C-alpha cells in the first residue's frame, strides 16, 4: 500500500524544468521527406540550418527526398560474392583449365 507521500524519492528543490531554467528553444522548421516506399519523415531543423537534400527513412532505411512524387531511388545492393566468383571474373574457363592441369601435374610429380 502506498504511503501517499507524493514527493518521496525527490530531492529538495527539484521541480519541473521549464523555459525559464533552460532558456528559449531555437526556432524550428519541420521538413517532410518521402522515400520510395511512400513513408513520410518530418525531422525538425533549426530555422537557420542548411536542410539536406536527402534524409534516411527511419522505417525502411532507404534515402528520402523532399519531392513526394519523385523520391530518390533505393540503392542497388550487390549480392555477396565468394572468392570463386571474383576468380571467375578475372580468369576465363580456358585459363582455369590450364592452371588446374599445371597444379595436377605438380601433384603427380610430372613437372
- Sorted by where each begins, the domain ranges of the chain are 28-65, 78-110
**What pLDDT was estimated at residue 26?**
82
Task: Answer yes or no: is pLDDT of 76 > 80.
Answer: yes
Q: Is 39 annotated as a binding residue?
A: yes
Q: Is 57 annotated as a binding residue?
A: yes
Q: How far apart are CA 97 and CA 70, in angstroms?
A: 50
Q: How far apart are CA 94 and CA 101, in angstroms?
A: 11
Helices (H), the chain: 19-22, 83-90, 93-108
**What pLDDT was estimated at residue 16?**
62
Task: Answer yes or no: is pLDDT of 106 > 60.
Answer: yes
Task: Answer yes or no: is pLDDT of 110 > 80.
Answer: no
Pair type for strands 44-46 and 40-41: unpaired
Q: What is the DSSP letter of 81?
A: -
Place of cell 605438380: 106
C-alpha cell of 50?
542548411
pLDDT (mean) for 15-34: 77
pTM: 0.54
CATH of domain 28-65: 2.20.28.270
Amino acid at each position: 500500500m502506498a504511503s501517499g507521500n507524493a514527493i518521496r524519492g525527490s530531492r529538495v528543490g527539484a521541480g519541473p524544468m521549464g523555459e525559464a531554467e533552460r532558456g528559449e528553444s531555437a526556432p524550428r522548421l519541420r521538413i517532410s521527406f518521402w522515400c520510395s516506399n511512400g513513408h513520410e519523415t518530418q525531422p525538425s531543423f533549426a530555422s537557420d540550418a542548411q536542410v539536406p537534400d536527402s534524409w534516411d527513412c527511419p522505417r525502411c532505411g532507404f534515402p528520402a527526398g523532399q519531392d513526394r512524387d519523385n523520391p530518390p531511388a533505393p540503392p542497388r545492393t550487390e549480392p555477396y560474392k565468394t572468392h570463386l566468383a571474383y576468380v571467375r571474373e578475372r580468369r576465363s574457363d580456358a585459363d582455369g583449365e590450364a592452371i588446374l592441369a599445371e597444379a595436377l601435374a605438380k601433384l603427380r610429380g610430372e613437372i
